[in-house]
Amino acid sequence: MKSGLNELRGAAFALAVATNKVQTVALAMLETAGIAHFFPVVVGSDMVPLPKPHPALGFLTAECLHAQPVNCVMIGDTPHDVQMARAAGRRSVALTHGTHDHERLQPVEPTIVLQSYGETVKWLIAQGRQGPRGETCARSLPSLSIRQRTR
C-alpha cells in the first residue's frame, strides 16, 4: 500500500481520508499503519451532521483539499462509500478486498469495481490529472474521515 501511496503522491494526487469513524480514531489507525503522513486531510463523521452515505463527508473533504467534488474520486469498499460519492458529485472506485464482494458493490453503480490497491493506483494514474492543479481526492482505507492535520 505504501508504494501505491508514494506513486500517487509523486503523480501530484492530493490524498485525503473520509470516514464514518470519529476523526481521532481514524488518525490513530493511520498512524498505527504508518501512513498518516500521506493524508494531510482526515475527516471523520464527528465533523459533519450526518455520516455516509450522506454527502457531507465528501463535500467537507473536497473543501479541505480546495478541490471541486467533480475532481475527486472516492475509493471505498462499502455501498455507503459509493452512495456518498454519487451524492457528492464524484466518481467512485469500489474495492472488493473489504467486506463486500463484486455482487454487493456493483448494484450501487460505482464508476468502476476493482480488486486491489494496485489496480486502483494504476486506474487513477491512467485517468490523469483532474483539474488545473491535479486535484484528486483518494481514500485508501475503509471508513475514515477528513480534517486538516497539524504536523
The answer regarding whether domain 2-138 maps to CATH 3.40.640.10 reads no
Q: Quick one: pLDDT at residue 24? A: 96
Residue 142 has pLDDT above 60, yes or no: no
- What is the distance between the alpha carbons of residues 90 and 73, in angstroms, rounded to a whole number? 6
Whether the CB-CB separation of 44 and 139 falls below 8 Å is answered with no
Average pLDDT, stretch 84-99? 92
In this predicted model, what pLDDT tens digit does every residue of 14-26 receive, in sequence order?
999 999 999 999 9
Average pLDDT, stretch 105-116? 95
35 CB burial (10 A radius; 0-12, 13-18, 19+) = middle
Average pLDDT, stretch 131-145? 37
